[in-house]
Amino acid sequence: MKNITVIGSGTMGNGIAHTFAQYGYQVNLVDINAEALERALATITKNLDRQVAKGTLTEDSKAATLANITTITDLQNGVKEADLIVEAATENIELKLKIFKDLDQFAKPEAILASNTSSISITKIASVTNRGDKVIGMHFMNPVPVMKLVEVIRGYATSDESTALVMELSKKLEKSPVEVNDYPGFVANRILMPMINEAIYTLYEGVAGVNEIDTVMKLGMAHPMGPLQLADFIGLDVCLAILNVLHQGFGNPKYAPCPLLVNMVTAGKKGVKSGEGFYDYSNGVKEAKVAAKFL
282 annotated ligand-binding residue: no
The number of C-alpha atoms within 13 Å of 145 and in the hemisphere containing its C-beta is 21
In what side-by-side order are the strands of the sheet with 149-154? 69-72, 26-30, 3-7, 84-87, 112-115, 135-140, 149-154, 176-181
142 known member of a binding site: yes
116 is an active site residue:
no
Report the Cα–Cα distance between both ends of the chain, in Å, rounded: 51
Q: Say if residue 74 carries a ligand binding annotation.
A: no
Among 3, 28, 116, 151, the one annotated catalytic: 151
Which of 68, 118, 162, 170 is an active site residue? 118
Check 116, 121, 189, 274 and give the catalytic one: 189
121 is in an annotated binding site: no
CB contact at 8 A, 18 and 144: yes
Q: Identify the CA nearest to 239 among candidates 178, 203, 185.
A: 185
- According to the annotation, is 235 in a ligand binding site? no
Task: Judge whether 139 counts as a catalytic residue.
Answer: yes
Spatial distance between the Cα atoms of 212 and 226, rounded to a whole number of angstroms:
9
**139 contacts 161 by C-beta, under 8 angstroms:** no
Q: Single out the catalytic residue among 139, 162, 170, 274.
A: 139
Is the N-terminal amide bond of 143 cis, ω within 30° of 0?
A: yes
Residue 140 CA to residue 5 CA, distance in Å, equals: 15
| 11 annotated ligand-binding residue | yes
- What is d(CA 76, CA 221) in angstroms, rounded to the nearest whole number? 48
Is 176 annotated in a binding site? The answer is no
13 annotated as a binding-site residue: yes
Residue type, 201: Y
Angstrom distance (rounded) from CA 198 to CA 183: 21
Count other Cβ atoms within 10 Å, centred on residue 210: 20
Instruction: List, as residue ranges, the binding site.
Output: 8-13, 31, 91, 96, 118, 142, 273
Residues with a known catalytic role:
118, 139, 151, 189
Instruction: List, as residue ranges, the binding site for NAD(+).
Output: 8-13, 31, 91, 96, 118, 142, 273
